[in-house]
Structure 1
Amino acid sequence: MKLKKIMATLLAAAMITSFTITGCGSKINADAVAATLDGKDISMGVANFMAQYQAAQTDLYFLSYYGEDMWSTDSGDGSTMTDSVKDSVMENIRECYLLDAHAADYKIELTEEEKTAITEAASKFLADNSAQAIQKMGATQEIVEEMLRLNKVQSKMRAAIQEEIDTEVSEEECAQKTFSYVRFDKTAASDTTTDDTAADDVSDADAEKDNMETAEQFLKDAAENMEEAAEKEEYTVLKCSYGAGDLNEDDNTTSMDVEVLKAADQLKEGKLAKKVIETDSGYYVIRMDSTDDKEAAKTKKESILTQRRNDKYAETIEKYKEDSKWNINESEWKKVNFDELYTAKQEDTTTSTDDSTTDDSTTDQDNTGTDDTTSKDE
């Protein structure tokens, strides 16, 4: 399971749902120290709440896919899902407090309206969630407000840091060519039929046929109109845009094989390649559509700027880390677990007609980025 990337995405969302749980409550000492950043103590109350909040979100998203033992399941690298989530949460806590410490550098502060919204969102969270969930999460007005405050500061700092990038992108950097192609697998199931006895003697190689002949036939058919030829044979015509830098294997940002890109780069606009291009994984019939695709260039420019923004933010966080002292109190942090599962809160609605009663699962969300959740009743 590629959990770490998923967890980072969910953490950034900061959506709180109403939760219920199974089991007893939190045994975490909220006043204990979870970590220290440059001499500033970060409480277990805040750290545990952020971890439990993430666990609740994870339960809602993945419990139905991975089952109730998912927290003890190996993530694929020797660690469990619990390890992965806790690592992601602690790394996010570190990042949030680093950004908070440098907020003044960018003149970042919360407005009165933002502070009020945070207070109201925290109150709503506490009111909407079950007593069991609140206890397990160790949620208090102060702790919930702190998480929401950190998330808001993180968001505003990210935007401020990313504004520092160079927004100039040369035409050469974003210039794009676009070609159409139909791809064929190297082999296909043989059309040859055999009886059961004969089939036992057919090797794997004999059971499949090379697709080069099929690709070459399509190349001939596509000479007049690739789209019509593809539609007739029920093939799919796809497009690929690329720039000069993508012709280098190490710099290729497309998902296309470099061999195909190099072949396309030899074509004039509107021209079909004279032969089928073969790669390790397939055969390609290609046609150059545009040697100066303006729309693709606009998309490439935005992609370049997005990468610069992401790089700038990552570099800034890394610099903050290098210039700071960080320590995790492992003896306390190890006490955090996700053994008790969270489930979406069920709201009972009763109608008097025919004595019928229905249970509706609800998720409420307000403009502050919080929603409701609950747990299984014992």
Structure 2
Amino acid sequence: MKAKKVTAIILAGAICAAAFTGCGINTGATAASMKNQTVTMGMANFTCRYQQANVEDYYKSMMGAKSSSELWSKDLYGNGTTMEDTMKDSVMEQLHEMYTLQAHMKDYDVSVTKDEKAAIKRAAQQFISDNSSEALKEMTADEDTVEELLTLYTIRSKMQKAIEAEADTNVTDEEANERGYTMMTISTTSHQDDSGNTVEYTDDEKKQLKETANKIEDAVKNGKTLEDAAKDEDQQTTTGAYASDDSTLDTSVKKALDDLKEGETSDVIETDSALYIVRLDSETDKDATEKNRQNIIDKRKSDHYNEVLEGWQKKDGWKVNKKNVAKISFKNSLTQQDPNASTETQTSTETQNVESTQ
């Protein structure tokens, strides 16, 4: 039996209410509070369980967990924090974000339209209709709670767009520029033997690798392409692009590329872990440059949004009632279902339009 997300959370058939724990939560108790706003346990529990239902099957598959209990009790990083606690912390941060944005709607002249409110109401009603009373009780879900969450999602989307619109999106060609290159790399640290074991190179083997790199260098100087020269020595080449502020390339490799003109190939570049030969293919890789331009714009928008949000949150008095939030439990799965039932989310057009504002 499967609880699907707000777009169409549906439980296929009745579920044994005696197995559920949601009824033990005082929905009116305080989960968190901030200036002029209280987050109830009903809202916190529903949002947490909604998130659980969204990701549980994926996480089970990815981590090989056989049950909900096994999955959410995992301590992935060995720091004493379970996946359940991590998820609940994340949800509380999301609620803090959304209620903060709601409190500042007037700052950006943002509102929820009548049509949006009507669509949200219909989506909430459909959600309640589609779920069993047992499932709703487990998730502490009623129409008002579902409606409030969808409203918060809508506000967050509108506010984020309004705030990000203030960011500087003028990226110069120089800032965006990415130069295209071809690279031959020979690792000098280790390799896999015939049994698949990782083995460190000996000093003699490292000398042989250097001789191989030198042969490729000489072949290029004598007119062969880097690709053909590398292939002759059973080595491979890769292509890529980099910007002036690139931090992924080895420093020595980037310096060599910076010193090359279009079409030129470097000598062997030796680092602590590898031998390289690089060729500058183009002063401007158009596709990579445009992608980088958009990445810069996206980062500026994200940085500005976070800056504004954090500025509001500094003095809003947000406080989580950890004792109450600890009562939220992921012990019972909301995704277990008839193995013959479809696992695809069935989303109505109207509700999809509401969630597209998330």
Are residues 1:24 and 2:17 paired?
no
Q: Which moved more, 1:237-246 or 1:326-335?
A: 237-246
CA displacement at 1:187 relative to structure 2: 4.7
Letter in 1 for 2:107: D
Tell me which of 251, 258, 266 is aligned to 1:265. Answer: 258
Q: Deviations over 1:275-314 (max 9, x none)?
A: 2212233222210111233443322221111110010011
RMSD (Å) for aligned C-alpha atoms: 3.0
Aligned to 1:9: none
CA displacement at 1:216 relative to structure 2: 3.0
CA change 1:227–1:53 in 2 (3 A) is same
Aligned to 2:348: 366
The 8 Å contact of residues 18 and 345 in structure 1, kept in 2 or not, is answered as no
Rounded to whole Å, the distance in 1 between the matches of 2:342 and 2:172 is: 55
Are residues 1:256 and 2:258 paired?
no
Letter in 2 for 1:24: F
Q: Deviations over 1:52-100 (max 9, x none)?
A: 1111222121123331212111131331111110110000000000000
Are residues 1:212 and 2:210 paired?
yes
The 8 Å contact of residues 190 and 201 in structure 2, kept in 1 or not, is answered as no
Aligned to 2:52: 55
SS of 2:181's equivalent?
strand
Are residues 1:316 and 2:311 paired?
no
Please list every run of 5 or more consecutive structure 1 residues that lacks an aligned counterpart in the other structure: 1-12, 194-202, 247-251, 348-357, 372-378
Aligned to 2:238: 238
Letter in 2 for 1:72: S
Aligned to 1:41: 38
The number of residues matched between the two structures is 332
Tell me which of 137, 150, 169 is aligned to 1:167. Answer: 169
CA displacement at 1:190 relative to structure 2: 8.8
Q: How does 1:350-361 map to 2 (within 5 A)?
A: 359-361=341-343
CA change 1:112–1:277 in 2 (3 A) is same
Rounded to whole Å, the distance in 2 between the matches of 1:360 and 1:166 is: 46
Rounded to whole Å, the distance in 1 between the matches of 2:157 and 2:8 is: 17
Are residues 1:177 and 2:191 paired?
no
CA change 1:109–1:235 in 2 (3 A) is farther
CA displacement at 1:152 relative to structure 2: 0.9
The 8 Å contact of residues 57 and 335 in structure 2, kept in 1 or not, is answered as yes
Tell me which of 74, 82, 87 is aligned to 1:85. Answer: 87
CA change 1:231–1:143 in 2 (3 A) is farther
Aligned to 2:74: 73
Q: Percent identity?
A: 34
Letter in 2 for 1:175: N
The 8 Å contact of residues 176 and 293 in structure 2, kept in 1 or not, is answered as yes
Aligned to 1:119: 121
Rounded to whole Å, the distance in 2 between the matches of 1:144 and 1:172 is: 48
CA change 1:90–1:259 in 2 (3 A) is same
Please list every run of 5 or more consecutive structure 2 residues that lacks an aligned counterpart in the other structure: none
Rounded to whole Å, the distance in 2 between the matches of 1:229 and 1:16 is: 58
CA change 1:306–1:234 in 2 (3 A) is farther
The 8 Å contact of residues 14 and 370 in structure 1, kept in 2 or not, is answered as no
Rounded to whole Å, the distance in 1 between the matches of 2:118 and 2:245 is: 49
Q: Deviations over 1:142-191 (max 9, x none)?
A: 11111111011101111110000112223332233221112222156599
Rounded to whole Å, the distance in 2 between the matches of 1:91 and 1:192 is: 50
Letter in 2 for 1:334: A
Q: Which moved more, 1:123-132 or 1:316-325?
A: 123-132
Aligned to 1:301: 293
CA displacement at 1:136 relative to structure 2: 0.9
TM-score (norm 2): 0.83
The 8 Å contact of residues 112 and 155 in structure 2, kept in 1 or not, is answered as yes
CA change 1:319–1:186 in 2 (3 A) is same
Q: Deviations over 1:122-150 (max 9, x none)?
A: 22222333443222111111111111110
CA displacement at 1:192 relative to structure 2: 10
Q: Which moved more, 1:68-77 or 1:338-347?
A: 338-347
CA change 1:205–1:269 in 2 (3 A) is closer
Aligned to 2:111: 109
SS of 2:254's equivalent?
helix
CA displacement at 1:238 relative to structure 2: 2.3
Letter in 2 for 1:242: Y
SS of 2:123's equivalent?
helix
The 8 Å contact of residues 185 and 281 in structure 1, kept in 2 or not, is answered as yes
Letter in 1 for 2:95: I
Letter in 1 for 2:62: Y
